[in-house]
Each structure stands twice: as C-alpha cells, then as structure tokens.
Amino acid sequence: MCDIHTMTAVGSWAEVGDRVRQARFAHHLSQADLAARLGVDRSALARIESGERQVSALELYRLSEILDVPIGHFVSRPPAAVVSRGQALTDDADRVTRARFRMDAALEAHARDAEWLVSRGFLAPSELATPGPSAFGRADIAGNPRAAARALRAALGLGMAPIASLADACGRAGLHVLVVPGLEAGASLLLDPGLGVAVVGGEDRPGRRRLTAAHELGHLVLQDEYTTDIGVAAGRDEREQQIDVFASEFLLPRDALRQEWESQQASTRHRMVRIAGRYRVSWSVAVRSAREAGVLDSPQVVEICSMTPQRGELLEVLGREPPEDLTAGETSGIWRQAVLAAWHDGAVVASRAVELLHGVIAETDLPEREVPEQA
C-alpha cells in the first residue's frame, strides 16, 4: 500500500534537475531544443539538469508548459510504488518507455491532487469496495474475480444494467479516474484501503477506455498497489488475466449477456451489435464474452470477430449511436463535488478549482460562494 503522505518535496536541486532531464527524454527533446524553447543557453540547461543551477519560478512554469507536466512534478518525489515499478529514461528511450513516463507523471499529479483533497476532508475512501482476499466480507469471492465484479455491481446498486458513467461507478467504489488527452492505455495507484487514483488515456477508442478504467478498478478491488497497462500485451501474467475477467464481468455481466441474447429474435450479428452497443463495450470484449458465456461457438466467433460494426449498423440496430463515455478531462461526480466543496470553503482560488476540475468549466462558471452571515 502507498501512504499518501509519502509524496514529499524533493531534497535538492539535483533531484529537480533529474526530473527535468527525465521529462525532456520523455518528450524526445535534445538539450538544445529544450533550452531554445525555455529561452536559456544550452549550458544553462545542462547546469539545471546536473543540479548546479537553481531554477526560477518562472522557468519552472515554462518547463511545465513545454514538457506538459505540472510544476509539482519537478519539486515533489513520486510515490514509492511508482518509483519501484518505473524505469529511468535515457535519450534513446523507446516509444513505450516514454509513454509510460508520461502516464506515470499524470498519475503522480492526480495522486497529489487526491492527497490534498483527502488531507482537508473533502474526499474520503469508499466504504463499498472493501479490498482483500475476502472482499465485501464474502469468502466465496476469494480468488474469484468474476464473483468480485458481481458483488461490486450489487454494492453499487447496478444489478445487471449497463453502466452509464464508468467514472461515476469507479468513483463510488473509491477509484478516482481522470481521462488524460494525448495518452493511451492507463495506470492506477492504491493510496489507502478503498481509495485509489487512475489515469486513462483519452486517445484510445471509447470501448477501450471503458475497459481500461474497469481494469484499473479491478486492481483496486483485488489490492494491487500500482499498475500500468502500457505494454502489458507483450507479457500478460496470470494476475493480469484475472483482472481482465473482473473488468469484462463488471462491464458486461455474463448473466446479462445471456438474458439479452435470449430476449431477441434476430440474427446472430444483430444480437451481438445490440449487446455491444447497449453495454458500450468494444467489439472484441462483446465477442469474447459471448463465447465464454456459451452463446457463440468457435466458427461464429471467427466469422464475426473481425467485422467491427460501423456507425450505420449501430444506428440501424439501436436507433442511435451509444453516447461516448470517458471523454478527455472527465472525472467522477464525487471528485467534482469534492473540488467544489473546497471552492465553497475558500480552500482554493478560482484558477486552482478549474485546474482540479481539468478544464470542464471556466472560472466564470464557478458557483457563487456564500457570504458568511454577520454575527
């Protein structure tokens, strides 16, 4: 478990310089390129990265803009779990390694924001998702991710219905999801029992984003301290496969799939399009779940798996396109209410409130603060 209070300030300018260098590598910039954008000589940037030169507040602000990481990234140490699973960058780092760094930087920032909201009482762990080997107090869930997904759905009052907002469902379970533009896949960090943060890449397709969020929720429920989905396809272990079972069952319960299948008098493809569209899962998840539920045999899977439904087919079967979920900047309702509670309390200024809400509203859209009555 990661103690949220271990995300401390860096202890030297050398640490700041190392954070700058790593962020530069992640963006595949040379010292000369970054120095030119920052407006300093290359030798000055070299001294910053080696810790021989201090960085002004204005330079930190410019570095934050150029390298697309919060200022806090340069002056705070990452959580221990991220450090232990991370990989130091070099100037010839490959695309996957650079993407993992950017994902971890976004996760660190989100964790710092959560830490702040928790420390001031605006955000609290969820009582619904009790992690551990006997989650929800039921021994039959131990080692059974499908049962854990069903139990969490029951605790959230979802039954077998489609999940309208995955960010809200995750937030109620204690996982506070942020959708980050410009990234793919996702990563999560367990902060305390019943409390975690996750970032989901906004560049993925809608069905993939929902699967990623459900996957990260599985790590929270089944008690994994830190995880990143970047590059996992190259080496999935048994644990990842179990998390995938949880995610698929949480998004599209097996019993719900069978019920939907039996309620329709239509072609195999028509039924599958309706199921995938109603539950807003990717075509591959829908087909795989149908095969595992026994409603599709192997020849049927081979026949329809590669034929992803087009927009017109969704309109034909459903009468509309499924509404998009997990758009860039999205957080849960619980997160937004926590931020606005901080705003009303006077704990944040308008610009910080908008930053914590990730730009979904402007400062002019913030509600008026109540003026305390005079005694």
Say whether both 170 and 273 belong to one domain. Answer: yes
Q: Is residue 114 part of a domain?
A: no
Helices 311-318 and 268-279 pack at an angle, to 10 degrees, of 90
pLDDT of 92 reads 58
- Tally of domains in the chain: 2
324 within domain boundaries: yes
Q: Report pLDDT for 141.
A: 60
**108 located within any domain:** no
CA distance 189 to 226: 5
Query: Model pTM greater than 0.85?
Result: no
Residue 201: exposure state from Cβ atoms within 10 A (0-12, 13-18, ≥19): buried
What backbone phi and psi angles, to 5 degrees, belong to 72?
-60, -25
| pLDDT tens track for 338-348 | 999 999 999 99
Q: Residue 103: pLDDT band by 50, 70, 90 thresholds?
A: confident
Decide if 99 is inside a domain.
Answer: no
Residue 16, domain CATH: 1.10.260.40
Q: Give yes or no: residues 58 and 178 share one domain.
A: no
Domain identity same for 50 and 196: no
Query: Does residue 212 share a domain with residue 76?
Result: no
Residues 277 and 219 grouped into a single domain:
yes
Same domain, 61 and 167: no
- Mind listing the pLDDT tens digit for each residue in 44-94? 999 998 999 988 889 988 998 898 888 888 887 766 555 434 455 556 566
Q: Are strands 186-192 and 226-228 parallel, antiparallel or unpaired?
A: antiparallel
Q: What is the pLDDT of residue 2?
A: 36
The pLDDT > 90 percentage for the chain reads: 50
Name the more confident of 346 and 7.
346
Q: What is the reported pLDDT for 88?
A: 59
214 and 363: one domain? yes
Paired strand residues for 76:
9
End-to-end Cα spacing for the chain? 46
Tell me the pLDDT tens digit for each residue of 281-340: 999 999 999 999 999 888 888 888 878 898 899 999 999 989 999 999 999 999 999 999
pLDDT at 8 (0 to 100): 60
**pLDDT at residue 9, rounded to an integer:** 63
Range of the domain at 349: 122-375
**Given 74, 93, 112, which residue is the final one in a domain?**
93
Higher-confidence residue of 274 and 127: namely: 274
DSSP bridge pairs for 197? 176, 189
Q: How many residues are listed for the chain in this entry?
A: 375
* Crossing angle of helices 268-279 and 283-293, rounded to 10°: 120
% of the chain exceeding 70 in pLDDT: 84
**pLDDT above 60 for 5:** no
Q: Are residues 247 and 365 in the same domain?
A: yes
Same domain? For 348 and 258 the reply is: yes
Residue 131 sits in the same domain as residue 222: yes
245: which 2 tokens?
């079972």
pLDDT in tens, 204-237: 999 999 999 999 999 888 876 555 555 444 445 7
Are residue 74 and residue 161 in the same domain, yes or no? no
In a domain, 364, yes or no: yes
Task: Give a yes or no: residue 74 inside a domain.
Answer: yes
DSSP β-bridge partners for residue 177: 198
Q: What is the pLDDT of residue 4?
A: 39
Query: Could you tell me how many helices (H) and strands (E) the chain has, helices first?
Result: 18, 4
The order of strands in the sheet holding 175-180 is 175-180, 195-201, 186-192, 226-228
Choosing from 41, 74, 93, the residue where a domain stops is: 93
Dump pLDDT digits (tens) for 23-48.
Answer: 888 888 899 999 999 999 999 999 99
Q: Would residue 100 count as lying in a domain?
A: no
**217 lies in some domain:** yes
Do 171 and 219 share a structural domain? yes
Asked whether residue 114 carries a pLDDT value surpassing 90, the answer given is yes
Q: What is the average pLDDT score of the chain?
A: 84
